[in-house]
């Protein structure tokens, strides 16, 4: 708690020193208090630096978590003034580096030998410096060019301090902000904590890169550099060095005659392939991590680095999103509404017709429109309004996917604003739906589950025997339970509704058990479910008796 408080004080000091409170005085609610700015000491001196520069410097000083937020904002040039967006873009690979001598010392401590014994050459001048790590060029003894990624010293402690502050903010939001509990801020931060702490293990990042490289071996639309495992450790990652044009360098891409439409369409294909075919997607796709192979300008390719953050979806979430997108592409808003209700993400008593009407109002104006006419910020704002109306729950497991979507929209807007996203993505989704729901998909699912079914099959006779025995004993158990209930009613007449509640609960459990047997499900729940129902009833009876006495 003390460290979190100190971190809050440090952040406040940084905000005030760089005068980032200036926008507050332009808000409507501050109209009558703008004069107060001149009473604040940090506003007494003249400030010649732009707001964007001050914001970037403040985020750099605040550390990795703040820098990550700035990187995400940098992709949204439609939301920010160009001067601010340009400054935030520098966070992606121009964060002040730590000295090359420290990098050399880290390598020597890791390998237990002088750098010259490991590498034929090592440059102490970094190629790029990011919020968590920085990258140096090197050459192996066999002549291959590589890059060496090193974690920043002390970054682990700083990230954990920032996470403590974020948890304090989450508790404040859930307690004091209207509808704060519905946002499930703590769950979102817990999910983010796991993600960012994973970035501190470079072996994990190497494994993510290797997995993505294998995923695209049969479809070379994305190139991922090879990991050199013999030189990789928790704090050091050594990978093949690639050469490409940063995707944010539009002028260089134009000079090389790159086909921007092809590049944008291929980017959409890569995203949908990762999310729905591989279920393993690069979740940090800001401009600093994406490069373009321009050797064939008519058919440019993508090069990706920095796999510290990757995402995947549960099978149910994946199918839910796929069905939603497919229904959306076909203008089937009723199906979208039904999926929202079936998923449990809105109240179960929600009228499908009401939700359908709201979704149609939200989606119809943007269907089949080019990128330049679609603004995810407006869409997300409308979604938030819908969430409030229908008590929709924020899903923490989808936060990474939402972040990736926003980043991709930012890149797509820079590359080819006239891209027709729906026309590009719809054939892919139709093909995926056929593969998942068609005969091949059903066969593949059966094949995947066959070993588990084979393992359980020998238990089927015993399970059925237990089920039949439970059914045979059920009348006697019900009679005993009825007698017990009658005795309880005599002793606790004023608490009769509690007893009926307990009895009803047990009957629901029994009914569920018998339903499984009646449906001839080969793996219906064993009599333990019946015992659990009776035990729960007995526990409630005991509680009522204890309260009575």
Range in 260-274, 365-379, 517-531 the model is least confident about: 517-531
Mean pLDDT of 81-95: 75
Residue 471 forms part of a structural domain: yes
Give CA 99 to chain center in angstroms: 33
The domain boundary residue, chosen from 378, 407, 437: 437
Say what the pLDDT of residue 182 is: 61
Residues 496 and 366 reside in one and the same domain: no
Question: pLDDT per residue over 43-81, tens digit each?
Answer: 777 777 888 898 888 888 887 777 777 776 675 565 567
Please indicate whether residue 429 or residue 299 has the higher confidence score (pLDDT): 299
Residues 412 and 537 reside in one and the same domain: no
Res. 447: pLDDT tops 80: no
Residues 382 and 328 reside in one and the same domain: yes
Residues 385 and 491 reside in one and the same domain: no
Residues 315 and 418 reside in one and the same domain: yes
CA dihedral 294, 296, 299, 302 (to 10 degrees): -30
Residue 139 forms part of a structural domain: no
Residue 505 forms part of a structural domain: yes
Instruction: Give the number of other CB atoms < 10 A from CB of residue 231.
Output: 19
Structural domain boundaries, residue 63: 2-92
The SS3 of residue 301 is strand
Strand-pair partners of 121: 139
Note whether 153 and 146 are within 8 A (CB): no
Residues 433 and 462 reside in one and the same domain: no
Mean pLDDT of 314-332: 80
Res. 393: pLDDT tops 70: no
Residues 476 and 353 reside in one and the same domain: no
β-pair type (281-282, 145-151): unpaired
Could you please report the per-residue DSSP string of 175-232? HHSTTHHHHTHHHHHHHHHHHHHHTT-HHHHHHHHHHHHHHTTTSTTEE-PPB-GGG-
**What confidence tier does 526 reach under pLDDT thresholds 50, 70, 90?**
very low
Say what the pLDDT of residue 208 is: 96
Closest by CA position to 291, among listed 247, 248, 252, 225: 247
Number of independent structural domains in the chain: 4
Say what the pLDDT of residue 507 is: 39
Residue 149 forms part of a structural domain: no
Say what the pLDDT of residue 468 is: 74
Residues 499 and 469 reside in one and the same domain: yes
Residue 73 forms part of a structural domain: yes
Closest by CA position to 95, among listed 133, 69, 122, 65: 133
Please indicate whether residue 188 or residue 446 has the higher confidence score (pLDDT): 188
Residue 481 forms part of a structural domain: yes
Residue 447 forms part of a structural domain: no
Mean pLDDT of 157-173: 80
Say what the pLDDT of residue 81 is: 77
The domain boundary residue, chosen from 196, 217, 247: 196
Catalytic residues: 284
Residues 469 and 433 reside in one and the same domain: no
At 240, which helix (H) or strand (E)? strand 236-240
Mean pLDDT of 345-350: 78
Burial (CB count within 10 angstroms: exposed 0-12, middle 13-18, buried 19+), residue 33: exposed
Residues 84 and 160 reside in one and the same domain: no
Question: pLDDT per residue over 474-483, tens digit each?
Answer: 777 777 777 7
Note whether 123 and 107 are within 8 A (CB): no
Residue 68 forms part of a structural domain: yes
Mean pLDDT of 196-224: 93
Distance CA 164, CA 7 (A): 9
Q: Report the first-to-last Cα separation within the chain, whole angstroms.
A: 44
Say what the pLDDT of residue 509 is: 37
Say what the pLDDT of residue 379 is: 58
Residues 50 and 170 reside in one and the same domain: no
Question: pLDDT per residue over 181-194, tens digit each?
Answer: 666 677 767 877 88
Say what the pLDDT of residue 8 is: 75
Residues 269 and 413 reside in one and the same domain: yes
Could you give the percent of the chain with pLDDT greater than 90?
A: 25
Q: Could you give the C-alpha distances from 516 to 408, 409, 460, 510, 512, in angstroms and in order?
A: 46, 47, 13, 10, 6
Q: Output the CA torsion sign for 377, 380, 385, 388.
A: negative
Could you please report the per-residue DSSP string of 362-427? HHGGGTT--GGG--HHHHHHHHHHHHHHHTPPP-GGGHHHHHHHHHHHHHHHHH-TT--HHHHHHH
Distance CA 322, CA 313 (A): 11
The domain boundary residue, chosen from 167, 196, 225: 196
Say what the pLDDT of residue 506 is: 40
């Amino acid at each position: 708690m003390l460290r979190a408080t100190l971190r809050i004080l440090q952040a406040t000091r940084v905000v005030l020193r760089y005068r980032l409170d200036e926008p507050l005085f332009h808000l409507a609610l501050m109209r009558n208090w703008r004069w107060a700015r001149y009473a604040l000491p940090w506003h007494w001196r003249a400030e010649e630096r732009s707001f964007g520069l001050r914001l970037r410097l403040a985020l750099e000083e605040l550390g990795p978590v703040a820098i990550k937020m700035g990187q995400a904002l940098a992709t949204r040039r439609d939301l920010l003034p160009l001067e601010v967006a340009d400054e935030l873009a520098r966070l992606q690979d121009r964060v002040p580096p730590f000295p090359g001598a420290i990098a050399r010392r880290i390598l020597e401590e890791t390998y237990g030998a002088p750098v010259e014994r490991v590498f034929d050459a090592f440059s102490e001048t970094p190629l790029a410096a990011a919020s968590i790590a920085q990258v140096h060029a090197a050459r192996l003894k066999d002549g291959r060019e590589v890059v060496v990624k090193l974690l920043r010293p002390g970054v682990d402690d700083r990230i954990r301090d920032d996470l403590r502050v974020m948890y304090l903010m989450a508790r404040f939001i859930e307690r004091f902000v209207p509808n704060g509990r519905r946002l499930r801020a703590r769950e979102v931060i817990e999910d983010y904590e796991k993600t960012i702490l994973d970035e501190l293990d470079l072996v994990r990042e190497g494994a993510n890169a290797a997995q993505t490289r294998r995923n695209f071996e049969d479809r070379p639309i994305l190139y991922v550099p090879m990991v050199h495992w013999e030189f990789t450790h928790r704090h050091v990652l050594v990978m093949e060095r690639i050469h490409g044009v940063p995707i944010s360098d539009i002028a260089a891409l134009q000079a090389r005659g790159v086909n921007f439409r092809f590049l944008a369409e291929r980017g959409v294909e890569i995203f949908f392939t990762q999310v729905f075919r591989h279920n393993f997607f690069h979740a940090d796709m800001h401009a600093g991590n994406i490069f373009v192979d321009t050797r064939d300008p008519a058919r440019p390719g993508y090069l990706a680095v920095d796999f510290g953050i990757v995402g995947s979806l549960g099978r149910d979430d994946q199918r839910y999103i796929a069905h939603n997108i497919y229904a959306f592409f076909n203008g089937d808003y009723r199906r979208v509404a039904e999926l929202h209700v079936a998923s449990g993400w809105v109240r179960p008593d929600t009228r499908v017709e009401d939700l359908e009407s709201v979704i149609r109002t939200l989606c119809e104006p943007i269907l089949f429109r080019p990128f330049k006419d679609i603004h995810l910020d407006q869409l997300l704002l409308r979604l938030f309004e819908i969430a409030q109306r229908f008590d929709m729950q924020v899903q923490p497991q989808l936060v990474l996917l939402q972040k990736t979507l926003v980043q991709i929209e930012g890149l797509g807007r820079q590359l080819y604003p006239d891209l027709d996203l729906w026309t590009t993505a719809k054939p892919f989704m139709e093909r995926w739906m056929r593969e998942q729901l068609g005969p091949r998909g059903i066969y593949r699912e059966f094949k995947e589950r066959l070993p588990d079914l084979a393992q359980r099959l020998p238990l089927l006779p015993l399970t059925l025997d237990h089920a039949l025995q439970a059914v045979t004993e059920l009348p006697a158990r019900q009679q005993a339970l009825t007698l017990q209930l009658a005795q309880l009613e005599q002793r606790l007449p004023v608490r009769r509704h509690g007893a009926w509640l307990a009895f009803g609960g047990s009957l629901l459990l029994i009914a569920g058990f018998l339903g499984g047997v009646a449906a001839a499900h080969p793996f219906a729940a064993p009599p333990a479910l019946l015992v659990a129902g009776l035990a729960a009833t007995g526990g409630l009876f005991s509680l009522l008796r204890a309260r009575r006495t």
